[in-house]
Amino acid sequence: DAKTTQPNSMESNEEEPVHLPCNHSTISGTDYIHWYRQLPSQGPEYVIHGLTSNVNNRMASLAIAEDRKSSTLILHRATLRDAAVYYCILRDRSGGSNYKLTFGKGTLLTVNP
């Protein structure tokens, strides 16, 4: 799977928007961009994924650059419950039978009250 680069950590204030960046300059045309988060002492949790167009769901929005070499996960109003490690992962939709997710180090998001 292609590599992603994320900041090690970010900080936000409660009820403010948060923009979490991810660079993936070697992305291929068949890679989906997935985002997961892991709250303390819990398993990873699916947040959102997309291919080319921006995506919205109840948890977040995903903005994908036109050249697809970067993307941004947007949390519209951060809450204390959003404090977690956020992982940006590329998943090859044509990658054979193993739907493996390759986790990097992710971004540790701290939300201040």
Partner 1 sequence: EAQVTQNPRYLITVTGKKLTVTCSQNMNHEYMSWYRQDPGLGLRQIYYSMNVEVTDKGDVPEGYKVSRKEKRNFPLILESPSPNQTSLYFCASAVGANYGYTFGSGTRLTVV
Would you give the binding string for partner 1 spanning residues 44-83, x where CB under 8 A is met?
A: xxx--x----------------------------------
Q: Please state the closest distance from residue 113 (CB atom) to partner 1, in A.
A: 26
- Nearer to partner 1 (CB atom), residue 42 or residue 53: 42
- Can you point out the beta strands (E) in 51-106? 55-56, 61-64, 70-75, 84-92
Please tell me whether residue 3 binds partner 1 under the rule CB under 8 A.
no
Candidates 67, 81, 99, 113: give the one binding partner 1 (CB under 8 A): 99
User: The sheet that has 55-56: what strands, in order across it?
Assistant: 18-23, 70-75, 61-64, 55-56
Angle, CA 107 vertex, CA 56 and CA 40 arms, to 5°: 90
Q: How many CB atoms lie within 10 A of CB 47?
A: 20
- Bridge partners, residue 23, by sequence: 5, 70
Residue count, binding to partner 1 (CB under 8 A): 22
Would you give the binding string for partner 1 spanning residues 27-46, x where CB under 8 A is met?
A: -----x-x-x----xxxxxx
- Can you tell me the distance from the alpha carbon of 86 to that of 97, in angstroms, rounded to the nearest whole number? 26
Please tell me whether residue 21 binds partner 1 under the rule CB under 8 A.
no
Please tell me whether residue 97 binds partner 1 under the rule CB under 8 A.
yes
